Amino acid sequence: MRVTHNMIVSNVLSNIQGNLSRLEHAQNQISTGQRYSKASENPTAVARIMDLRSSESRVEQYRRNADNAVAWLNATDAAIQSAGDAVQRARELAVSGGNDVLPQEEREAIAAEIDQLLAQVIDAANSKFNGSYLFSGRLTDTPAYAAGAPPTFQGDLNGIEREINDGVKIQINSAGPDVFASSMQVLTDLANDLRSNDGPAIRGRIADIDAAQDELLAQGSIVGARTNRIETQQDRLEASQVSLAHLRSQDEEIDMVEAIVRFNSEETVYNASLQAGARIMQPSLLDFLR
């Protein structure tokens, strides 16, 4: 084939252009750390990256939800503990108050302490987490109980849920009456019995107090079970966050070593094409005539 200078020039130019564009692409990958900057570079991988990224962001959100749920449950547990302490103290007082050698004034004094314990239980029932009343159902801006004998429940019995994984919702709130109704009732009754100086009735309350304690324990263990369940999910979420990030980085991020090696080889090719081009474009017959 007859070869002209223009053919050489345009060949050299288009080859240099191609090499430079590959060099630029390699450089771009290194400087951004990203394998793809446009969907057309690998449509399937890009769709996968978008999918993985969205899963990752969701898992992060679930972890946030789970942390929030655990904090809520811890606050619930603390409230139940505090009510439990009050009821335990009330049991001790009931035992000593049941002793018939006590004079009326002593029992009055004990009744006053029981009133304080009832107030402690009400305080526990009106605990807040992040501005929301824990035991008011969905009426989170209303205190669960108003003082009274017995105190009156002002919330509702609706559940509040947290979503902690795809399709995994868990109820985090305990209904006030389930937890505190018996305790409050028995404390109110005990105070009344003490004030009416009724020894047998006072002694009879001990069984009721035990029942109320059992109820608090049962509610406490429900909270514990929920916490456990969430913590299991948290482990799972953490694991899947790690593996999602790993999967995404496989698709999305370049292998630096490989990229730098490729960059170097592209650079060598580019330099070689410049040198070869410079040498082939320079001379013509004119250089050698006379």
Partner 1 sequence: MRSTFTGIETAMRAINAMQLALDTTTHNIANANTPGYSRQRVELSASDPYTKPAMYRIPQPIQIGTGVNIDGITRARDFFADRQVRTASGELGNHETAVRYYNRIESLINEPSPNEFAGQLDRFWNAWSDLSLDPSDLSARTVVLEEGARIADSMNRTMTQLSELRTDAATEIDFVVSDVNDMAQEIADLNRDIRKLVGIGQTPNDLMDRRDMMIDDLSRMTGASATYQADGTVDIMLDGRALVSGFTTDPLQTQAAGGGNVNIVWSSDLAAVALPQSELGALQTMNNTTIPDIQSDFNSFFNGLTAGVNTIHQAGYGLTDPAGPPPGRDFFVLTAGTYGVNPALVSDPALVGAAQNPGQPGDNSNALVIANLATAKSTNGGTTTFNEHYGLLVAGIGSDARRATDAAANQGAFVSYLAAQRESVSGVSLDEEVANLVKYQHAYEAAARALTAADEALDTIINRMGLVGR
Q: Which residues make up the interface to partner 1 (CB under 8 A)?
A: 1-7, 10-11, 14, 34, 36, 38-44, 46-47, 49-51, 53-54, 57-58, 60-62, 64-65, 68, 130-132, 136-141, 156, 158, 160-163, 166-167, 169, 173, 252, 284-286, 289
CB of 279 to partner 1, least distance (A): 16
- In the complex with partner 1, the residue whose CB is nearer, 140 or 227, is 140
- In the complex with partner 1, the residue whose CB is nearer, 63 or 262, is 63
Please give the helix or strand (H or E) that residue 169 lies within, else none.
strand 168-171
Q: And the tokens for 150? A: 């017995």
CA pair distance 10, 14, nearest whole angstrom: 6
CA pair distance 254, 261, nearest whole angstrom: 12
The dihedral formed by the CA atoms of 102, 103, 106 and 112, expressed in degrees to the nearest 10: 110
Please report which residue ranges of 33-139 form alpha helices under DSSP H.
43-97, 104-125
CB of 142 to partner 1, least distance (A): 8
- In the complex with partner 1, the residue whose CB is nearer, 49 or 80, is 49
Contact 101, 94 (CB under 8 A): no
Of 20, 17, 14, 10, residue with least CA distance to 267: 20
Give the Cβ contact number of residue 276 at 10 Å.
13
CB of 43 to partner 1, least distance (A): 4
CB of 200 to partner 1, least distance (A): 44
- In the complex with partner 1, the residue whose CB is nearer, 24 or 141, is 141
- In the complex with partner 1, the residue whose CB is nearer, 257 or 286, is 286
- In the complex with partner 1, the residue whose CB is nearer, 135 or 180, is 135
Strands 168-171 and 128-129: unpaired
- In the complex with partner 1, the residue whose CB is nearer, 57 or 152, is 57
Contact 86, 211 (CB under 8 A): no
In a 13 Å sphere around the CA of 238, the CA atoms on its Cβ side amount to 8
CA pair distance 170, 155, nearest whole angstrom: 20
- In the complex with partner 1, the residue whose CB is nearer, 138 or 203, is 138
Q: And the tokens for 47? A: 């769709």
Contact 49, 38 (CB under 8 A): no
Strands 128-129 and 132-133: antiparallel
